[in-house]
Chain A
Amino acid sequence: MLEESREELMRFMLLFSRQGKLRLQKWYLATSDKERKKMVRELMQVVLARKPKMCSFLEWRDLKVVYKRYASLYFCCAIEGQDNELITLELIHRYVELLDKYFGSVCELDIIFNFEKAYFILDEFLMGGDVQDTSKKSVLKAIEQADLLQEEDESPRSVLEEMGLA
């Protein structure tokens, strides 16, 4: 892959808890499993060690990490050095808003038990590491449509409830 000096490309997004449990990961650049694990472990350590009120940006390896903590969850994006940090910070916030709107006051458990929804919402919002649509309405409309399709498919049980009852 050819890197550009002024290209806006998110490398990955991670959600992890204060206890260091990974809750969601999305990689936008092919990375081997081994490397992913190593990066996740290393980065979680760095971020969890930071104190509140510290700056939301840090240089890590050859990347810039933008993170923000919401309740017990850290949302963490790795971007390239030239990218706009503040807009990335707000991108995280917009994603949290989307989750919040969809789940209704989202919490860590929602993301654990409805991880597939968390992914679908992220995918409607970002694609290949780039913003696809910043309108809250558009993204949620797409997700609602998908939910309708799901209900047409089958009785309205969440996938995980089905799994739980299996």
Chain B
Amino acid sequence: CFLFHRGEGFNGLFLLAVASITLNFVKEAEIKRINKELANIRSKFKGDKALDGYSKKKYVCKLLFIFLLGHDIDFGHMEAVNLLSSNRYTEKQIGYLFISVLVNSNSELIRLINNAIKNDLASRNPTFMGLALHCIASVGSREMAEAFAGEIPKVLVAGDTMDSVKQSAALCLLRLYRTSPDLVPMGDWTSRVVHLLNDQHLGVVTAATSLITTLAQKNPEEFKTSVSLAVSRLSRIVTSASTDLQDYTYYFVPAPWLSVKLLRLLQCYPPPEDPAVRGRLTECLETILNKAQEPPKSKKVQHSNAKNAVLFEAISLIIHHDSEPNLLVRACNQLGQFLQHRETNLRYLALESMCTLASSEFSHEAVKTHIETVINALKTERDVSVRQRAVDLLYAMCDRSNAPQIVAEMLSYLETADYSIREEIVLKVAILAEKYAVDYTWYVDTILNLIRIAGDYVSEEVWYRVIQIVINRDDVQGYAAKTVFEALQAPACHENLVKVGGYILGEFGNLIAGDPRSSPLIQFNLLHSKFHLCSVPTRALLLSTYIKFVNLFPEVKPTIQDVLRSDSQLRNADVELQQRAVEYLRLSTVASTDILATVLEEMPPFPERESSILAKLKKKKGPSTVTDLEDTKRERSVDVNGGPEPAPASTSAMSTPSPSADLLGLGAAPPAPAGPPPSSSGGGGLLVDVFSDSASVVAPLAPGSEDNFARFVCKNNGVLFENQLLQIGLKSEFRQNLGRMFIFYGNKTSTQFLNFTPTLICSDELQPNILGFITKPVDPTVEGGAQVQQVVNIECVSDFTEAPVLNIQFRYGGTFQNVSVQLPITLNKFFQPTEMASQDFFQRWKQLSNPQQEVQNIFKAKHPMDTEVTKAKIIGFGSALLEEVDPNPANFVGAGIIHTKTTQIGCLLRLEPNLQAQMYRLTLRTSKEAVSQRLCELLSAQF
């Protein structure tokens, strides 16, 4: 591994690469050298002399190298594309490599690349076909899917396709299916693909299994036959001797990759119904479990890793089926052994896998028997990722029987836990304490302990929640007041404790005021002694506590009025504090006792809701991991809020105060000393209503929506919007003044979208001119990974400028999502092309010579000025492209009629490119000024 003699003959660029690994060469020198090299390559590409393929390859390869050194490359794409059509293998290969490394899916070069790929796919040369398939799989854009999704299945199942090409075709198709499932047509080929599971070539089976697994998730019915084939293939593998499979045996383990994939395919389905198949599968799983107990055939870690990879996947399948108690318990015992294995990796995986096992009713108890080992792992593991798994497992195995022990262990671990996982542990403890609380005094103690141990990591959700629960349960209110009062005695207590203490004493301080040790004045002095150390939001909260005290304890009113009246309050530099002081002072002076009592009444109970802490944990961990546990444990969970029935929705909207924002419930009270509107800067987080659902407000247009919109002016299908959660695809067709748009909403996550509501919004200005109807609402629940479709019918009544907006609102893992995009319904969609001869064109052109009828725009080219592309865009725009009409063959002219319900408008257009200046001049002439104007705007943005 020390082959330094290779350095002969390198030029400076490569010496630099060496230098950077050996000497930490000065960065500036490297950059200077690189820039010189880039300038050189640029001049070669721009030079008058056409480069031969060899030089082109050389420079493209250099660019790649520079890119890999970590520098930006913004040219050379065209040259790389040129290399694709070379007949020399190495040139083609470098071209494809450059594209797969450097070209993003939205490149404008895709069309050219697609052409080259098309040729290579048709070449019947397996090496060229392989390169082309690789390129499609690497870029994998929608445009590529549009071009090749129909072709590749044919390559895959053709009888004369070579095995290596079949493998590439299978994985290539898989990639396209992941990108654009709607573009991959199902058909006869699917049944032939399933039979590839029987193929003699294990490489083909491996690739095909991946493809089938993904397809089967979406089309389980269509691929049902794969189950029995997969079981028999798996059975042949696990029973084979370690040498039977030759090169597919990996360190004495027969075909581990294929085994894992087959086991994964089987996880798309319930246990097989056919008893014979089911029996055979059970045998396979037992064999795999048995093998784990056999002595290893090799001491190499690769052997045990491969063997255990199959074992863990088998256990996943057993858990997925969740139907064979015997297998589940065996799996649990096996994992139990791994919990104490000397390999860290195995301990990690055993903890992880046991988490899912804990949620099965058959194995929950078996998992619980390992509690001491897991607690020990929490205390002794040296790797934080492993400790993290232990925390997860304790959380998963927790039920009412062991909650006090687990919560206590987590709390004690929290004292020394890594900062990176503290917040999560806090959330978990808070959830468990609430869920399994039999005795709410235990719950209150636990949360106060959390604040004491890890106050900085106790998020708002946690301390809001304890307040909610105390308010909703009158049996714990006195205890809570006493406990916070005692906790506040500590000389240094966390600000979160001051918040909780302030809030609870403000509500229930009267319950302990009878004890002379916690008389009203003592309570007030205790709180006020913390006041000056606290942040503005906490001080604001304390001021509200003080005014509540005025109501609860008339005897301290003068003291509190004095405090409010002091300069540090009334003239506080902070607007929020000043306002509260002024208003509360005024309120305490002018309001009668009755009014005070009404305004400052005890908080009404909070309506029952999903714990916002749970929502927060879901958000933190990704929803799927948490929901699973929650679903299975639901029956075991306790009614956290106890007594009060959920308030009806209508009243809750009126009277649900968040404990932070509207502490006094003043919102609806007569002499409302309204605070400033909630803002994150003014009152800090305190004024943000964390519990309320977001109101039905239409979100502003999603970023990037303008660009996407422009891309649809000349085409009708594609992806309109995509973020991490949601993908919106469109297919539309237009005829005369009517149109129909198919909208596809894809849930990219594995979690449901709830209350999924798309709305079509036409502004008042747009309304009379364009009519859009959603034919049918979509189901408000969109399953994880699902795609739903909606149809919009469109009618163009008269010419228009704006576009309708599609607003989508839904809930995802406890968070409200709101997305708005412009629907690409543009005036040019209602074009009908008109062919005409040169003289007709110019005659009409002259007829439309009124200055209002013509609109012209001169603009710089934003994209390469390619004749073919331009033609395609004009046709895509909807007008006819008239050849041999303009005397200058470089110009483009088009003609068409815009159809609206009320009228038809003839349109002529002329586009004059100027290559030297990289400019265009676009002229539109129509009988209506607004139409000329709009069409000119739309088309100008395309070049």
CB distance from B124 to the nearest CB of A (A): 16
Q: Are A153 and B101 in contact (CB under 8 A)?
A: no
Residue B891 interfacial (CB < 8 Å): no
Q: Are A164 and B90 in contact (CB under 8 A)?
A: no
Residue A53 interfacial (CB < 8 Å): yes
By secondary structure, the A interface counts as: mixed
Q: Are A134 and B305 in contact (CB under 8 A)?
A: no
Q: Are B2 and A159 in contact (CB under 8 A)?
A: no
Closest to B173 in A: A128
Q: Are A57 and B167 in contact (CB under 8 A)?
A: no
Q: Which of A26, A116, A134 contacts B94 (CB 8 A)?
A: A116
Known: A55-B344, A86-B305, A109-B18. A127 touches B134 (CB 8 A): yes
Q: Are A164 and B203 in contact (CB under 8 A)?
A: no
CB distance from B671 to the nearest CB of A (A): 50
CB distance from B606 to the nearest CB of A (A): 32
Residue B677 interfacial (CB < 8 Å): no
Q: Are A165 and B309 in contact (CB under 8 A)?
A: no
Q: List the B side residues contacting A87 at CB < 8 Å.
A: 256-257, 260, 306, 309, 313
Closest to B307 in A: A86
Closest to A56 in B: B345
Residue B213 interfacial (CB < 8 Å): yes
Choose the segment among B261-269, B281-289, B836-844 that binds chain A (4+ C-beta atoms closer than 8 Å). B261-269
Q: List the A side residues contacting B302 at CB < 8 Å.
A: 90, 93
Q: List the A side residues contacting B308 at CB < 8 Å.
A: 86
Q: How far is the CA of A87 from the CA of B70 in the complex (A)?
A: 30
Known: A86-B309, A159-B58. A164 touches B10 (CB 8 A): yes
CB distance from B776 to the nearest CB of A (A): 23
Q: List the B side residues contacting A112 at CB < 8 Å.
A: 17-18, 21
Known: A54-B383, A55-B386, A128-B137. A109 touches B6 (CB 8 A): yes
Residue B171 interfacial (CB < 8 Å): yes
Q: How far is the CA of A150 from the CA of B131 in the complex (A)?
A: 14
Choose the segment among B234-242, B291-299, B588-596, B742-750 that binds chain A (4+ C-beta atoms closer than 8 Å). B742-750
Known: A87-B257, A108-B21, A132-B207. A146 touches B58 (CB 8 A): no
Known: A2-B746, A128-B171. A153 touches B88 (CB 8 A): yes
Q: Which of A8, A131, A142 contacts B264 (CB 8 A)?
A: A8
CB distance from A86 to the nearest CB of B (A): 4
Closest to B750 in A: A5
Known: A8-B264, A165-B9. A84 touches B214 (CB 8 A): no
Q: List the A side residues contacting B133 at CB < 8 Å.
A: 127
Residue B735 interfacial (CB < 8 Å): no
Residue B348 interfacial (CB < 8 Å): yes
What 1/0 flags go to A47-87 for Cβ under 8 Å of B? 00000011111110010000000011000000001001111
Q: Are B21 and A84 in contact (CB under 8 A)?
A: no
Q: Are A113 and B14 in contact (CB under 8 A)?
A: yes
Q: Are A9 and B178 in contact (CB under 8 A)?
A: yes
Residue B54 interfacial (CB < 8 Å): yes
Known: A90-B250, A146-B93. A3 touches B748 (CB 8 A): yes
Q: Which of A107, A134, A162 contacts B206 (CB 8 A)?
A: A134
Q: Are B172 and A163 in contact (CB under 8 A)?
A: no
Known: A2-B787, A133-B207. A163 touches B168 (CB 8 A): no
Closest to B105 in A: A30
Within 8 A of B (CB), among A138-163: 138, 142, 145-146, 149-150, 152-154, 159-163
Closest to A91 in B: B257
Q: Are A2 and B58 in contact (CB under 8 A)?
A: no
Q: Are A8 and B172 in contact (CB under 8 A)?
A: no
Q: Are B11 and A128 in contact (CB under 8 A)?
A: no
What 1/0 flags go to B2-13 for Cβ under 8 Å of A? 111010011101
Q: Are B306 and A86 in contact (CB under 8 A)?
A: yes
Residue B727 interfacial (CB < 8 Å): yes
Q: Which of A21, A86, A132 contacts B167 (CB 8 A)?
A: A132
Q: Are B785 and A2 in contact (CB under 8 A)?
A: yes
Choose the segment among B61-69, B75-83, B902-910 that binds chain A (4+ C-beta atoms closer than 8 Å). B61-69
Question: Chain A, interface size: which category?
Answer: 35 or more
Residue B138 interfacial (CB < 8 Å): yes
CB distance from A154 to the nearest CB of B (A): 7
Q: Are B3 and A160 in contact (CB under 8 A)?
A: no
Q: How far is the CA of A159 from the CA of B61 in the complex (A)?
A: 8
What 1/0 flags go to B332-372 for Cβ under 8 Å of A? 00000000000011011100000000000000000000000
Known: A1-B727, A150-B90. A81 touches B250 (CB 8 A): no
CB distance from B830 to the nearest CB of A (A): 33
Q: List the A side residues contacting B255 at CB < 8 Å.
A: 134
A-B contact count (CB 8 A): 253
Q: How far is the CA of A62 from the CA of B750 in the complex (A)?
A: 13
Q: Are A2 and B727 in contact (CB under 8 A)?
A: yes
Q: How far is the CA of A54 from the CA of B622 in the complex (A)?
A: 25
Q: Are A6 and B386 in contact (CB under 8 A)?
A: no
Within 8 A of B (CB), among A117-133: 119-120, 123, 127-133
Q: List the B side residues contacting A1 at CB < 8 Å.
A: 178-179, 727, 748
Q: Are B1 and A128 in contact (CB under 8 A)?
A: no
Residue B104 interfacial (CB < 8 Å): yes
Q: How far is the CA of A3 from the CA of B178 in the complex (A)?
A: 8
Q: Are A137 and B749 in contact (CB under 8 A)?
A: no
CB distance from B586 to the nearest CB of A (A): 51
Q: How far is the CA of A85 from the CA of B94 in the complex (A)?
A: 32
Q: How far is the CA of A132 from the CA of B90 in the complex (A)?
A: 22
Known: A55-B345, A81-B625, A149-B127. A109 touches B4 (CB 8 A): yes
Q: Are A59 and B127 in contact (CB under 8 A)?
A: no
Q: Are B247 and A115 in contact (CB under 8 A)?
A: no
Q: How far is the CA of A85 from the CA of B346 in the complex (A)?
A: 10
Q: List the A side residues contacting B54 at CB < 8 Å.
A: 154
Residue A39 interfacial (CB < 8 Å): no
Q: Which of A2, A123, A135 contacts B181 (CB 8 A)?
A: A2
Q: Which of A22, A87, A149, A162 has the most CB of B within 10 A?
A: A87
CB distance from A4 to the nearest CB of B (A): 5
Q: Which of A7, A142, A160 contacts B14 (CB 8 A)?
A: A160
Closest to B388 in A: A59
Q: List the B side residues contacting A81 at CB < 8 Å.
A: 622, 624-625
What 1/0 flags go to A3-18 for Cβ under 8 Å of B? 1111111000000010
Q: List the A side residues contacting B140 at CB < 8 Å.
A: 30, 128
Closest to B300 in A: A93
Q: List the A side residues contacting B386 at CB < 8 Å.
A: 55
Known: A4-B785, A109-B4. A135 touches B202 (CB 8 A): yes
Closest to A61 in B: B622
Q: Are B258 and A84 in contact (CB under 8 A)?
A: no
Q: Are A131 and B305 in contact (CB under 8 A)?
A: no
Known: A134-B257, A149-B127. A163 touches B11 (CB 8 A): yes
Q: How far is the CA of A163 from the CA of B138 in the complex (A)?
A: 26
Q: Which of B1, B94, B257 contacts A105 (CB 8 A)?
A: B1
Q: Are A53 and B344 in contact (CB under 8 A)?
A: yes
Q: How far is the CA of A166 from the CA of B10 in the complex (A)?
A: 9
Closest to A66 in B: B345
Closest 3 CB pairs of A and B: A86-B309, A128-B175, A133-B203
Q: Which residues of B contact A (CB under 8 A)?
A: 1-4, 6, 9-11, 13-14, 17-18, 20-21, 24, 54, 57-58, 61-62, 64-65, 68, 70, 72, 88-91, 93-94, 97, 100-101, 104-105, 127, 130, 133-134, 137-138, 140-141, 164, 167-168, 171-172, 174-175, 178-179, 181, 202-203, 206-207, 210, 213-214, 217, 247-248, 250, 255-258, 260-261, 264, 267-268, 302, 305-306, 308-309, 312-313, 344-345, 347-349, 382-383, 385-386, 388, 622, 624-625, 727, 746-750, 784-785, 787
Q: Given A8-B264, A58-B385, list of 18 further CB < 8 A pairs?
A: A22-B70, A30-B140, A53-B382, A54-B344, A86-B312, A90-B302, A93-B302, A109-B21, A116-B93, A120-B93, A120-B97, A127-B137, A127-B167, A130-B210, A131-B261, A134-B257, A160-B14, A164-B14
The 14 sampled A-B contact pairs (Cβ below 8 Å) are A5-B624, A6-B267, A7-B214, A8-B261, A22-B70, A109-B21, A110-B3, A115-B65, A116-B93, A127-B168, A128-B178, A129-B175, A131-B257, A161-B9
